[in-house]
Amino acid sequence: MGVEGGQFLSVRWATVLIVSSMAFVAGCGQRSASNEATAMPSASHPDQSGIMATSDDLVSAPSQPLPPDPVPTLPKHNYDERRGFTYYYISALSDEDRTQGKAVGEVMGFQYVGQNAQSQYVLAAVQPNGAIRYRAKCSDPCRIIDTSYDAEIPYSPASVIGAAFEDAFGGKLEIAAWAKEEAAQAAQTAHSQTQTPPGTQNDNATSDLENAFPIAPKSDSSNSSDVSSADPIPVPSQASNDLEN
């Protein structure tokens, strides 16, 4: 080949080199773009650098039900305090009490005697020294309360004695120890009377179980004669008013 042939080969090889160089540059550019795309975090997926994801990609957590409002606990009984077998109730203040300047109500104590032969619930109102002031009885359901001082009191659970009977009806009161002893003695007496030959029984003897107001226990105080008597015990005239308050 002559000079023209050598020039042709030079141009051909130059073209091949140019094309190869362009292909190499294009390949490098694609790899660089790919690397940049891999290195840059997606807008919808945060990386560890703290970039937040979009709201569309967030999965909402299941809503937790709100806890129910606490239910106020109510007392299981009406009495305000118990001391031994005596249950104390505090009366509410009346308008007259407020007028007189009283800040608190009256305190009244009751002991539970149990049920008599007529299935009536019997309560004994006690003084601070333990002596029995009077006794009261009522059936369940109760409408009128009978007392040992011949007074009849309309039943209301809002009254002091009504609250005490409510506790008795609900089994919240324990029978006093002396009442249990009296009931046991009465049962023994009734049993012995059934074993006595006819004509030898005392016609005046009656069982305490048949008595609507069982005999109260004896007391060491000066009022022991009143406490041990089965007759109705007189009470102050204001006793009925205290019971209804």
10-24 burial code (b ≥16 CB/10 A, e <16): eeeeeeeeeeeeeee
* Per-residue pLDDT tens digits for 13-26: 656 566 566 655 55
Cα angle: 17, vertex 18, 19; to 5 degrees: 95
* Per-residue pLDDT tens digits for 45-70: 555 555 555 555 555 556 777 777 77
Please report the beta strands in 80-225, taking only residues with DSSP state E, as ranges in sequence order: 81-83, 86-90, 107-115, 121-126, 132-138, 144-147, 152-154
Q: How many angstroms separate the CA atoms of 159 and 29, rounded?
A: 97
The mean-pLDDT minimum among 52-56, 126-130, 175-179 falls in 52-56
Q: How many angstroms separate the CA atoms of 164 and 79, rounded?
A: 7
Q: Does the reported pTM lie above 0.85?
A: no
Domain ranges of the chain: 81-189+207-223
Q: How confident is the model at residue 116 (pLDDT cuts 50, 70, 90)?
A: very high
Tokens 């030898």 found at: 200
